[in-house]
Structures are given as C-alpha cells and as structure tokens.
C-alpha cells in the first residue's frame, strides 16, 4: 500500500467513526427515551429505520468503488462501537437502574 492509498483511506476511517457514533449514540438515546414512552414501538421502529438508512447510505457513498475505503469505514464503525459501549457502561453505573425505578412507582 502506497502513501497515497493511506491518505485516501484515513478520511474513510474517520467517516466510519462518525457513522458509528451516529448509529450507536442514536441507539443509546432511543433506548433511554423509548423505555419511558407510551409509544415505545413507534420510537424503536422509527429509530431503527432512520439509523439504518443513514448508515447504509454512508457506507455506500464512502466505500463506493474501493474495498479499502469500505474496510476502513467498517473499522472506524467498530471503533466507535467500542467507545460508545464503554461510555454508556460508565453512565449506566452512575444511574439508578430502570427496573428499580419501575418497582418504586408501583
């Protein structure tokens, strides 16, 4: 792989990170909002469709004609998954569990 190839792949890596943050951050937000809503099914379904549409279009345009860009985008997406997962686990440990909140209300 030449230096020019690396320069072309780095933006795809960062774009994959952005796509991952949008997808997994959106999932985290959807779960937080959806569990407290009376229309949870609509919220979860709408969020899934919107997040998948954004991700599929993003991967399509970023890796359009290069498997190297597609792979770099996927690696960035997975990096974002790890970061968001660790961040949300830290947030989870700081909050009262939802199950305890529900049992207190009844």
- pLDDT at 98 exceeding the cut of 70: no
pLDDT tens column, 38-79: 999 999 999 999 999 999 999 999 988 889 999 999 999 999
The H-assigned helical ranges of 1-106 are: 3-34, 40-62, 67-94, 98-105
Tokens for 20?
A: 């991952």
pLDDT tens column, 76-97: 999 999 999 888 887 666 565 5
Residues sharing a CB contact under 8 Å with residue 26, sequence separation 6 or more, in sequence order: 47, 50, 51
For the chain, the structural domain boundaries read: 3-99
Local confidence band at 1 (pLDDT 50, 70, 90 cut-offs): low
Query: Are the beta carbons of 66 and 7 closer than 8 angstroms?
Result: no
Tokens for 99?
A: 């199950």
């Amino acid at each position: 792989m030449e230096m020019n190839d690396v320069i072309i792949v780095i933006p795809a890596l960062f774009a994959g990170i952005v796509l991952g943050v949008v997808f997994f951050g959106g999932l985290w937000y959807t779960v937080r909002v959806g569990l407290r809503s009376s229309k949870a099914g609509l919220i979860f379904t709408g969020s899934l469709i919107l997040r998948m549409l954004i991700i599929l279009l993003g991967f399509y345009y970023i890796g359009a004609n290069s498997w190297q860009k597609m792979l770099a985008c996927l690696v960035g997406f997975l990096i974002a998954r790890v970061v968001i997962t660790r961040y949300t686990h830290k947030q989870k440990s700081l909050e009262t569990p939802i199950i305890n909140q529900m049992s207190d209300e009844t």
